[in-house]
Amino acid sequence: MTRLIKKLSKTRGLMPGTVVFVGEKKVDKTHIRIIDYNATEIEEKTVSSIEECFPFKEKPTITWINIDGLHEVDQIERIGRYFDIHPLILEDIANTGQRPKLDSFDHGFFIALKMLTINPESNKIQSEQFSFVVGNNFVLSFQEKIGDVLEPVRERIRKSVPRVRFMDSDYLAYTLVDAVVDGYFTVLETMSERIEAIETQLIKDPGPENLETIYEMKRELIYMRKAVWPLREVIGGLERVESEFIHDSTRVYLRDLYEHAIQVIDTVETFRDMVSGLLDIYLSSVSNKMNEVMKVLTIIATIFIPLGFLAGVYGMNFDTSASTWNLPELGMRYGYLLFWALALLIGGGLFVFFKRKKWL
Amino acid sequence: MTRLIKKLSKTRGLMPGTVVFVGEKKVDKTHIRIIDYNATEIEEKTVSSIEECFPFKEKPTITWINIDGLHEVDQIERIGRYFDIHPLILEDIANTGQRPKLDSFDHGFFIALKMLTINPESNKIQSEQFSFVVGNNFVLSFQEKIGDVLEPVRERIRKSVPRVRFMDSDYLAYTLVDAVVDGYFTVLETMSERIEAIETQLIKDPGPENLETIYEMKRELIYMRKAVWPLREVIGGLERVESEFIHDSTRVYLRDLYEHAIQVIDTVETFRDMVSGLLDIYLSSVSNKMNEVMKVLTIIATIFIPLGFLAGVYGMNFDTSASTWNLPELGMRYGYLLFWALALLIGGGLFVFFKRKKWL
Amino acid sequence: MTRLIKKLSKTRGLMPGTVVFVGEKKVDKTHIRIIDYNATEIEEKTVSSIEECFPFKEKPTITWINIDGLHEVDQIERIGRYFDIHPLILEDIANTGQRPKLDSFDHGFFIALKMLTINPESNKIQSEQFSFVVGNNFVLSFQEKIGDVLEPVRERIRKSVPRVRFMDSDYLAYTLVDAVVDGYFTVLETMSERIEAIETQLIKDPGPENLETIYEMKRELIYMRKAVWPLREVIGGLERVESEFIHDSTRVYLRDLYEHAIQVIDTVETFRDMVSGLLDIYLSSVSNKMNEVMKVLTIIATIFIPLGFLAGVYGMNFDTSASTWNLPELGMRYGYLLFWALALLIGGGLFVFFKRKKWL
Amino acid sequence: MTRLIKKLSKTRGLMPGTVVFVGEKKVDKTHIRIIDYNATEIEEKTVSSIEECFPFKEKPTITWINIDGLHEVDQIERIGRYFDIHPLILEDIANTGQRPKLDSFDHGFFIALKMLTINPESNKIQSEQFSFVVGNNFVLSFQEKIGDVLEPVRERIRKSVPRVRFMDSDYLAYTLVDAVVDGYFTVLETMSERIEAIETQLIKDPGPENLETIYEMKRELIYMRKAVWPLREVIGGLERVESEFIHDSTRVYLRDLYEHAIQVIDTVETFRDMVSGLLDIYLSSVSNKMNEVMKVLTIIATIFIPLGFLAGVYGMNFDTSASTWNLPELGMRYGYLLFWALALLIGGGLFVFFKRKKWL
Amino acid sequence: MTRLIKKLSKTRGLMPGTVVFVGEKKVDKTHIRIIDYNATEIEEKTVSSIEECFPFKEKPTITWINIDGLHEVDQIERIGRYFDIHPLILEDIANTGQRPKLDSFDHGFFIALKMLTINPESNKIQSEQFSFVVGNNFVLSFQEKIGDVLEPVRERIRKSVPRVRFMDSDYLAYTLVDAVVDGYFTVLETMSERIEAIETQLIKDPGPENLETIYEMKRELIYMRKAVWPLREVIGGLERVESEFIHDSTRVYLRDLYEHAIQVIDTVETFRDMVSGLLDIYLSSVSNKMNEVMKVLTIIATIFIPLGFLAGVYGMNFDTSASTWNLPELGMRYGYLLFWALALLIGGGLFVFFKRKKWL
């Protein structure tokens, strides 16, 4: 739940544009990594102060500055001021409850996304705010903690895969979004396996614990939906944005990415449909089980209550000596055998009745 | 319920544009507060008559006149006439059942909103009509009672935070809407906590009282949805309105505010989804409980009804002297022990049966 | 039901444009009322024949001719021919099953609406077709029976409230629609009270009769929805219609009316949501009651069936003289007391068990 | 079901534009009727071969050729070739699974509709494909079998009702669609009566057979919806089509027809809402009945199981001679009366308990 | 499930445009078939290496190269390079999880579809990726395995049906999509039969296995929906695409195809509606069965528990010698007969009661 509504109280009542960290502190110290490259060279380093990033702004090379940890807002403000970023965008960067969005401005654009991963321990979705500002020859990206789904991107830059190295900051931005969307597919795959697992279990042996699991998956899908729906407009907007930053060669890739985003959204909707189908199965399996319980009760009670009455009859103390009308069966030679014969007849008759009703 | 449909009967049958107070009287006397400021000076005072506001109309400073209490409609009419506001707008101001809306006219615009807060006692949403007229250098705001979510705005003006003080009435209007939207987040947070609380309880120990709570939350969300949905068009309309009053610098903030409104709407929808999920959990927990009750009944009845029959059989009075066929067991040396052996066998057999069915 | 689908069979197979009365005859004789006014004078009279209305057509004053009763179609045809109304519109006027609509033509426009009122006896919604043709200086309105929600409009004309008297037929038309929409609010208020009443009862003491009430309200809301949804396009169309008949001063009022229509539609949707919520409460209250019934059964049966078996055991007739193994308890000094001790132990144990399960 | 998905297998794998009869053969021989008229004359005849229709193509009079029976595709192809109809349209004519559609081409347009009628025996909806091609001075219509809802149209032509006779093929086309839509109203009326009937029965005496009826109606409404939804675009398209064939005078009628189509669609949706409401009533009536059954069981069992135990106690054979502690009640003077007193007390107490719980 | 989300892990982290086979390997070796034709000649052959296709690129004849098997990506890359296809498209071809889409580029367009067939053994839907690139005089199509629904297209080309042979690659592309859509109708027909079958069974004899079938059909429909929905935009886009490749004569066919796609989508939606209706029937049939079980239990228990008590009473051992008040019935001459009379009276009374309640 807390993942859904970030504690926004801190920012409330403040002047718009005030940069306040909203979220859970996930890392001790802000961690800054710089990758600076052009077609021929690459420089990669970890710096300890924001100011060390400044010189890269003016360099003609493409610079990707990645900042892990958002709680030291003064650092975000310092770099924001130096790279000339609007205070409202800085506010969005520091607010981990930010909805995915695209903001384009004169000299670049800003993208906020949710980076979804599967927590390997709990097997549940965990979400991290990932936002970045794209300028003429730099990308400033911000994450909540160290560790992300972007390693393949770095690897490709390092390995000097031509397309990444030769292209400009717009293509780098595309690869970042692409890596995040790729991460969604991993999450969907895990979800798919979980749905399949619960499906099998529901058919084999449903229990009340399944309900909780179903509800939890429903909630996770609600959350995931919230995270991926805005992607449609973010990527669509990026494709349409009229800016010199977005080269036509990149637009082809954006169109492809847009398709992937649609596929993610589609799949989330499909999973929602399936999970609500699972709930139906669960509910009717509960009904079926109750039905079965009722049948057992009914069969046993229906056979033995009349027999109990019969036994009760012959346990009555009517005075057989007062009259031959009173319980003459008791004095009969085969009375007891007749009783059993009658009992078996009644029991057998009901057995046949239940057989016919297919309760047995 | 009464919060949903205001008693509109008073206005019915009247000529359109007749200013009639519709709602509950929440304050005894109309309370008027004036904040008048420019970049260098600030004047704040509480006046007792509407006429004292009039001189501020012509002053070049920005004047924010806030009127708490809508039941003295003649005051609203007087100030409306002086500040040249259309009678239909005055009617909307006095009607606390007014849907959130934006009306732009030649020399300004009118915004009606719902100010939502959490009643600290009942922990429920309470709603107040908040509407204001924005003119060239004034903002006339109307509330139902004293006390609001706007204190931070006043504080910022007082503390002379540059952006608020230097900017014009359009920016002041923006900060008012922003403060109201911020209030929605507080409400959503409380809702979130309540959903979480009920969720935990439903899984731990569901009871019929939960149903009432769920229904109530559903109703509150229906209400909240009604209050926030129109925000989309209000803020969107404000952003698009072609007016000299809205400066371009303010539009940036409006776009940001629009994002926030979307986030509020999204979250309300998410909560609706989750609350209907809670209902499913509740309903199936009721089924599960009935199932459990049935199982206990079935186990006990299924074991002891046949045993009762058995005991009944040996309580029968067949005349053992009449024939050796009659109840020979009664005369056996270990008859009683055999009976118990049989009873335990039956009981044990059923126990195993139930164990296998996983009813135990 | 019959209110939903008017017997349309009469018009089927006829040539389009044939004026046929479709509906229930609610009045014996067609009743014609004329209000003729300009800024200074007013004339109000009831006439007995259609022809008496004809002279008003050419008068420069505004004339409102109201016809109660639609079954005498020849009258409708005569007045239609004289006032130059298209046969298809006359057909719509006489068809009380007509969907709310706006038809604009060269020299005026036609509006059909549903006038909803609450039947004071049954407390249910009753609907009446209300349609009118607006020409340059006349309004021809048609109702099914005498008695309507338009009295306030007449009162205002009589009392010479300036705005109504000075303005033209377009403003009169607006006030008519406005009066009808005001009537919807009255209906919604009654609905609101009924929902509140049933809500209270469902929580206090739900019964099967509630189901019927809920279903009926659902049906009434379905009907009301059908009546109010088209209003959106009717009023919106009226506002946009490019016609010299609609003055700009009237358009302001139409925009306000449009807001009211949206509010009516919104509220109907909200009520539908709430009524379906009531159904959920009802259904789960039925489940809860069954649960309670089951618990009582289970508690009593679970306690007394084993005890019955125990009593049965000591009612068996094993021959105690045959062996000391047979029912030795019977001959014990405190056997009976031990039996009760055992019975209380079993009963008490189960009591504690049920207490723990919170069934007691 | 078979009505929903026509056996389309025949056309699969064939070249597009191949005319293949898809559907059920409902008539032995193709039946051709010609009505040829102008303002002054009318000629009506039944011909036996397609070729006899050919001369009418060039005549300046309006010719309506109606062909009943679609299985002799060579006839459709011959007339199609002569009247210059595109093979794809001929394919649509012969395919009774065709979705309602409008195709306009250079020298006319093609309309396919579903003609719905109520089978007088089964009281169920039956559907027939009705399609026609409208040319400059002819209408070629195709039906699956003899007998339709178009008789009133023919009657009007015969009776020389001016509007039909004087007008051109476009107006004739309009009257055909109008007659089909009128037929929908008849069907809706029957549906309305069936809904009302089942409603009454559900409230009076619900049974499992109702479920089947409800499901069947649901299915029929799904089907009807599929048949009427496309009407919106068909008629709307016809109104907007820019063609010399559609005279402005006809457009007025088309707008009216469009309204009727909307009303049909609206009503189908309303019926769907109501039928799903019926299902809710049915389901909760089943719950209510089970509740009632449970109550009877609980009342009887709860009263008599404890009493049975009591009787069992006094049926025990504890040796009263062994000790005065053993069953002293048996030897008491009024022991038996005390037993009954106790029994009545227990029974009465439970009776009061049930009364309070409102189970009685 | 696995059919829904293809294992996408292989492509994640790779550079966009990298051609990676995603899916299940369904064929051992890539199989290449070439059909090359013009109006007069046809050449059909199976080649073993991609390079053998190259000469056809420059030939003025229309060439259809069909490649079965996507796992040998180097072959796809080689042909892609030769025919000048964008790497992103090659990536889509090799990814069998690709959503149906249309990509148009300068010298042609790319279409990806799902080819659905019914697995004759399991009677379930199986899906195969079918994509093709259309160039000026060639069509390159890619499938996952040998065997498809395109045989009729080949047959038509071979049989030299004029329309196919004379027309260009755009018409060939149309016939391919048409054949795939025709395949959907076959699938829908099978679905229709399965729905009908389960419907009959649910009414005759519902069982828990039906639930599984219903859920499975629901899932298959969810999947089918995902496959057919995008068709709308694919075909619609193809119709609108402004390209010299699409001749106007082909557009007529595309419009027809679009209608068919809409019909497929409509039918899938209808089936979804019906399947969810089946679930309602199933659930209420389970309720009905439980009701029936409960009735049997209630009838038997309600009759025999009181009778058991009665028998218990006369089995009590009150000392009749101690007082004449004690069980005087036991000593009566007809006591036993009276007992039976009473028993029959009680039983008969309850029988009548149940008869009246219609439980019997």
pLDDT in tens, A87-144: 889 988 988 888 899 988 878 899 999 999 988 888 889 899 999 999 888 999 999 9
Residue spans per domain, chain B: 9-284, 291-356
Tell me the sheet residues that pair with C68.
Answer: C31, C143
pLDDT for the residue numbered E334: 87
* Chain E residues touching D304 at Cβ < 8 A: 305-306, 308-309
Q: Which two tokens stand for residue E271?
A: 């089936």
Helices (H), chain C: 73-82, 87-94, 151-158, 162-166, 169-204, 208-240, 248-313, 328-331, 335-356
Residue in the block written with tokens 């089980």: A289
**Residue A250 confidence (pLDDT) above 90:** no
User: What CA–CA distance (Å, rounded) separates A197 from A123?
Assistant: 13
What sign has the CA pseudo-torsion A149, A150, A155, A161? positive
Element (H, E) at E198: helix E169-204
Q: What is the ipTM of this complex?
A: 0.77
| Residue A2 pLDDT level (bands cut at 50, 70, 90) | very low
What does the pLDDT look like over C23-33, one tens digit per residue? 788 888 889 99
What does the pLDDT look like over B83-140, one tens digit per residue? 989 888 998 898 888 889 998 887 889 999 999 999 888 888 989 999 999 988 899 9
Angle between the C169-204 and C208-240 helix axes, to the nearest 10 degrees? 160
Element (H, E) at E143: strand E138-143
**Residue E10 confidence (pLDDT) above 80:** no
Residue A300: closest C-alpha in chain B: B302
Q: Which two tokens stand for residue B43?
A: 């004047």
pLDDT for the residue numbered C280: 85
Q: Which long-range contacts (CB under 8 A, 24 or more apart) does A205-214 make?
A: A205/B358, A206/A281, A206/A282, A206/A285, A206/A286, A206/A289, A208/B285, A208/B288, A210/A282, A211/A279, A211/A282, A211/B281, A211/B284, A211/B285, A211/B288, A212/B203, A212/B281, A214/A275, A214/A278, A214/A279, A214/A282
Name the more confident of D285 and B351. B351
**Residues within 8 A of C (CB atoms), D 329-358 only:** 357-358
Instruction: Give residue A327's region: left, alpha or beta (phi > 0; psi -120 to 50).
Output: left
CATH class of E291-356: mainly alpha
Average pLDDT over residues E318-323: 84
Q: Taking the C-alpha atoms of A293, A298, A304 and A305 in order, what is their torsion angle to the nearest 10 degrees?
A: 120
User: What CA–CA distance (Å, rounded) separates D339 from D347?
Assistant: 12
pLDDT for the residue numbered D19: 82
From the CA atom positions of chain B, what is the Rg in Å? 35
Average pLDDT over residues D113-136: 90
| Residue D162 pLDDT level (bands cut at 50, 70, 90) | low
Do residues B188 and A4 touch, judged by C-beta distance below 8 A? no
**Residues within 8 A of E (CB atoms), A 279-318 only:** 280-281, 283-285, 287-288, 290-291, 294-295, 297-298, 301-302, 305-306, 308-309, 312-313, 315-318
Subunits adjacent to chain C (3 or more Cβ pairs under 8 Å): B, D
User: What CA–CA distance (Å, rounded) separates A193 from A181?
Assistant: 19
**Residue D345 confidence (pLDDT) above 90:** yes
Strand order in the sheet with E101-105: E42-47, E31-37, E62-68, E138-143, E125-134, E108-118, E101-105
Inter-chain contacts counted by CB atoms under 8 A, chains A and E: 172
Do residues B35 and B23 touch, judged by C-beta distance below 8 A? no
User: What CA–CA distance (Å, rounded) separates D175 from D169?
Assistant: 10
Residue type, E219: R
Beta pairing class for B101-105 and E125-134: unpaired
* Contact assignment for A211 to B281 by CB distance below 8 Å: yes
User: Thinking of the domain C31-284, which architecture would CATH place it in?
Assistant: 2-Layer Sandwich (3.30)
Q: Which two tokens stand for residue A2?
A: 């807390």
Burial A341-355 (b: 16+ CB within 10 A, else e): eebeebbeebeeebe
Q: How far apart are the first and last CA of chain B?
A: 47
Do residues E37 and E43 touch, judged by C-beta distance below 8 A? yes
pLDDT for the residue numbered A10: 47
Residues of chain C with pLDDT under 70: 1-14, 160-166
pLDDT for the residue numbered B3: 46
E38, E46, E52 from E43: Cα distances, Å? 9, 10, 14
> Any residues with CB less than 8 A from the CB of D358 and at least 6 apart, and which?
C205
| Cβ of residue D5 closer than 8 Å to a chain E Cβ | yes
Residue A320: closest C-alpha in chain E: E331
CATH class of C293-356: mainly alpha
Residue type, B290: M
Considering only CB atoms, B284 lies closest to which of A88, A282, A334, namely A282
Q: Angle at the Cα of E70 (from E69 to E76), degrees rounded to 5?
A: 115
Statement: A290-356 belongs to CATH 1.20.58.340: yes
Beta pairing class for E125-134 and C138-143: unpaired
**Residue E31 confidence (pLDDT) above 70:** yes
| DSSP per position, A141-177 | EEESSS--S-HHHHHHHHTT-HHHHHS-HHHHHHHHH
Q: How distant is the Cα of E256 from the closest Cα of chain D, in angstroms?
A: 7
pLDDT for the residue numbered E4: 47
CATH class of D9-284: alpha beta
**Residues within 8 A of C (CB atoms), D 147-206 only:** 151-152, 155-156, 161, 163-164, 174-175, 178-179, 182-183, 185-186, 188-189, 192, 195-196, 199, 203
Q: Which of A9-18, C19-28, D210-219 has the highest mean pLDDT?
A: D210-219
What does the pLDDT look like over A255-300, one tens digit per residue? 889 988 998 999 999 899 889 888 888 888 888 888 888 889 999 9
* Contact assignment for C15 to D161 by CB distance below 8 Å: yes
Average pLDDT over residues B253-263: 89
Q: Which two tokens stand for residue E56?
A: 């056809």
What does the pLDDT look like over E168-185, one tens digit per residue? 888 899 999 999 998 998
* Contact assignment for E294 to A291 by CB distance below 8 Å: no
**Residue A6 confidence (pLDDT) above 60:** no
pLDDT for the residue numbered C166: 67
**Residue E9 confidence (pLDDT) above 50:** no
Residue B316: closest C-alpha in chain A: A315
Residue type, C53: C
Residue D320: closest C-alpha in chain C: C331
Listed residue (D230, D233, D198) closest to D212, CA to CA: D198
pLDDT for the residue numbered B241: 76
Average pLDDT over residues A7-24: 67
